[in-house]
Structure 1
Amino acid sequence: MQNYHIKPHDGHWDLTKEGAERASISKPTKAEILAATEEFMSERTGSVKIHLANGRIEEERTYPRSADPRRSKG
């Protein structure tokens, strides 16, 4: 399973694959990057960690949902 991170970077938000130097997607707002990530991950299996502006992890999402190893609502 691939791991991705959504983080703020130089005034915009990036979706970056763990270990990559360049962002897979970049958008001006967090709402836009979240929407673009849904589409991007629709054909991939992976985990996306969503960070707050201060860098702390706010949430983690698994795509597709059926690949989530935990039986939780989150």
Structure 2
Amino acid sequence: MSKGKGVHITPREDGRWSVVRDGAERASSVHDTQAEATSAGRGTARRERTELYVHGRDGRIRERDSYGNDPYPPRG
């Protein structure tokens, strides 16, 4: 598991998309499309070596990528 806080791509009420770090009260950035927000969030997650969570319009996580120190081979 990564040490950093996760980065979430979430829908906003105004129809735009935000990049939000775990525990943050405000969005790091706001974008017109989910693709733009995902691209910005992916860069943040890589830089901070943490997880990226992409949420759908319904708020549920639909995609997840890890940029942390994942164990290899995976346990289980």
TM-score by length of 1: 0.77
When the two chains are superposed, the root-mean-square deviation of aligned CA atoms in Å is 2.0
Q: Encode CA deviations 1:33-73: one digit per residue, 9 max, x unaligned.
A: 11112322332111111111011110111125xx234757x
TM-score by length of 2: 0.75
Given the superposition, is the C-alpha separation of residues 70 and 25 from structure 1 closer, same or farther in structure 2, using an over 3 Å criterion? farther
Percent identical pairs in the alignment equals 34
Q: Secondary structure at the match of 2:6?
A: strand
In the alignment, which residue of structure 2 is the partner of 1:58? 62
Unaligned runs of 5+ in 1: none
Structure with the bigger RCO (C-alpha within 8 Å, sep 6+) is 2
More strand by share: 1
Aligned residues: 70
Unaligned runs of 5+ in 2: none
